[in-house]
Structure 1
């Protein structure tokens, strides 16, 4: 007889805890093969096609397109064939084992029933609500004092929830989450904090008191739009970018310096390289090569600050991020070991990652781990900017457009190709002398590319 198996949203790696359903790739009643993609989701890092480890007939789907689901929430159920005798191979029902990082594909556990305590609305006593795991409770739940596991990580909906609890001295193990499989939501932590402030206990829950949330604790639910307003949820990639930029401004004491440089000789050098045959060299690749040479001379800027340990962590490798605008928002793909690549290799990797960004196929690993970022905002037709540092890095180099301008060259006024360069840096890792030295060296290499020969 057929066996119905439940496939849940897997752990997508890189600490991601939720994803938005962008597009279903299967319908109820479709026959799916093992490891066939069944849904396309958007995380805070990238678009991902999620393959199902079971082969059989799709019997149910959970969530409409546009719905956000936490890791571990049901995605689909699949009816697979009869289970073979013990010891026989059963890839259809046991799963392929090849889904995504951190996700086991063994048989789904039987659904358990558990009793939740419903919060009173107006001071009444708590009542029991029975739910099945993976289904939403009848009311929001999450009083403090609930049972929790004694070891292992506590499942929470996002790192913000964990930080909120830590900042307020709240032990997450004392909470009962109201999300699927006991997942602790932001509302659970906020309720527990309000209850603690009112002297409440788990045995004597207090009514929820309406309270205007601070920006850091704003609810995910959208407020109704007033006439003339259009509200767009900050979620997925856009939400992650918003959180990261806000965190950078909040935590990093940044400063910016800038300089104009004559890029005429750099443009001529690139034209000569491309005229010699072989793969074309991009301007971005040459700027990246200049960056890695400058970081070798000023390694203080290739670092991060460990605030808790009060230490500056310097890296001996350069994983170079570059800002790229896509239809889904700003992304920063990372070129691994950029310091060990030549201009041709850098050109190819920039092209590959840029195309992946446009098509939404960048992996979480290609969007994390950068140590320094190059921002070519000149493609938008602007001369200068004071970019926000890509947290937790320590610096970002901005490059404006290259345009003909009057310039004094060899004692005479001439029309030259001029570019404005800006460096935004974390003032905790260095002072202005180091930042200015880095930027001046970059400008020297732009004006006289032969300077790079010293580092080749």
Structure 2
């Protein structure tokens, strides 16, 4: 006899309270093994596959692709202990058997998040609508003498996952009410790309405009109808009324909005900046990469060199590697530097963290930045890799801008912004010359230090950029 167990959306760590269902990996009636991934979800931190701690037959799924579920909400139910797939009922109506206190699963709901086996309790599953009459099957629970019935039926009417990988494509389709199941993907193996959704949006817009023009044309007059002279109305610059587009603030965009709002509301920030001659830094980088030879390992990036400069500066000015405990009214100086760096992805702005950056050299930092950037690009960063930073480096120069006033990544105390490095006229050794110039901006929490400390930090960074040999004193 099978026992039906309910698997809830686990706590994915780092205070996350909800997740969006991106793609179901199993169907009702499928046989799953212990710790087999059953659903792909997108949180405010990352996109992860959630494994099920039970082995058996999937009897029900809860939630459509694209919908959000809170932590603790039912994800699916699994019939455990069935001898074959036919012995478990795939319906979603009725009640689930209580979960045993001993647990028949792995208890390893999501690797790295420390979830345990479910506690023993009885829970009733919310009924689903079924078009077919239910065929009852008897399921027994070892801790209760009375069996519980589970009905047979299709759950949510799902016919399989849509061939879409990018969450940006799914979000764009939802915003414009495009049914992805009606599209034919132009990507490999029928994968639906953004270009396919954009084409469907254009076609929908053209059809709407054509219908509007047809409705606006006046009806043909008959011979019996009197012709009434109408005074023409001239509309200067008139345009068809447009409906404002509403975009939900959720997922990565919602998390960024919440963090930035909290930063501006809680942190009394101030910004100072300086222009620096980066010619010598660029020459030093070229020399490093040339010395490594054609097969001497990965090249050292400018961002890696600036990150190493930041760790040296934070060793001199530890006030900026801290946070503020507002409840205790205390400044907490942190023992190590976990360096975050801003990375723009299809899912939005994310800040991966290089752990223990103060113990790494430029080559090690560069390799870790490259690894985390690739994970960010593919949407495979875990929540742990996106949290715990103590200082952030933001290279907005890649967008072709010279300067900015960065917003502190709460609850950190400072962020260094780096503009583009470009040739500019510069006074060098008393003469006008064309040099590689960069603007550096430091936004800092004025509670942890005064302007003198912030200015000293920024000046040290600028000195290292202008004269990389300055770093030799701290290496």
TM over 0.5, yes or no?
Answer: yes
- Compute the TM-score of the two structures, normalised by the length of structure 1: 0.72
In the other structure, the counterpart of 2:50 is: 50
Post-superposition offset of 1:2:
2.1
The equivalent position to 1:109 in structure 2, one of 121, 134, 144, is 121
In the other structure, the counterpart of 2:457 is: 438
**2: CA distance, partners of 1:365 / 1:240:** 15
The equivalent position to 1:99 in structure 2, one of 104, 109, 128, is 109
Distance 1:439 1:263, change over 3 A: same
In the other structure, the counterpart of 2:201 is: none
Q: How does 1:45-444 map to 2 (within 5 A)?
A: 45-82=45-82, 94-100=104-110, 101-106=113-118, 109-111=121-123, 132=124, 227-277=242-292, 278-279=296-297, 280-444=299-463
1:400-456 deviation line (CA, Å, top 9, x unaligned): 000011111111111111000000001111111111111010000000000000010
1:345-379 deviation line (CA, Å, top 9, x unaligned): 10111011111111111111111111100000001
Post-superposition offset of 1:252:
0.6
Residues 103 and 117 in structure 2, CA contact (< 8 A), matched pair in contact too: no
What are the ranges of 5 or more consecutive residues in structure 1 without an aligned counterpart? 84-89, 112-131, 137-225
- Compute the TM-score of the two structures, normalised by the length of structure 2: 0.69
1:84-142 deviation line (CA, Å, top 9, x unaligned): xxxxxx9x97101221224333476322xxxxxxxxxxxxxxxxxxxx46679xxxxxx
Tell me, what secondary structure is at the counterpart of 2:116? coil
1:316-352 deviation line (CA, Å, top 9, x unaligned): 2101011111111111111111000011110111011
RMSD over aligned Cα atoms: 1.9
The number of equivalent residue pairs is 340
**2: CA distance, partners of 1:443 / 1:135:** 64
**2: CA distance, partners of 1:134 / 1:263:** 63
Residues 73 and 134 in structure 1, CA contact (< 8 A), matched pair in contact too: no
**2: CA distance, partners of 1:133 / 1:424:** 51
Tell me, what secondary structure is at the counterpart of 1:452? helix
Post-superposition offset of 1:71:
1.1
Post-superposition offset of 1:267:
0.6
Moved over 4 A (4+): 132-136
Post-superposition offset of 1:4:
1.8
Residues 19 and 42 in structure 2, CA contact (< 8 A), matched pair in contact too: yes
Residues 80 and 93 in structure 1, CA contact (< 8 A), matched pair in contact too: no
1:23-70 deviation line (CA, Å, top 9, x unaligned): 111111222121111111111211111001112221211000111111
Q: Which has the larger radius of gyration?
A: 2
In the other structure, the counterpart of 1:178 is: none
Tell me, what secondary structure is at the counterpart of 1:94? coil
Residues 257 and 436 in structure 1, CA contact (< 8 A), matched pair in contact too: yes
**2: CA distance, partners of 1:247 / 1:271:** 41
Residues 74 and 134 in structure 1, CA contact (< 8 A), matched pair in contact too: no
**2: CA distance, partners of 1:228 / 1:107:** 49
Post-superposition offset of 1:3:
2.1
**2: CA distance, partners of 1:418 / 1:363:** 36
Q: Which moved more, 1:67-76 or 1:286-295?
A: 67-76
Tell me, what secondary structure is at the counterpart of 2:332? strand
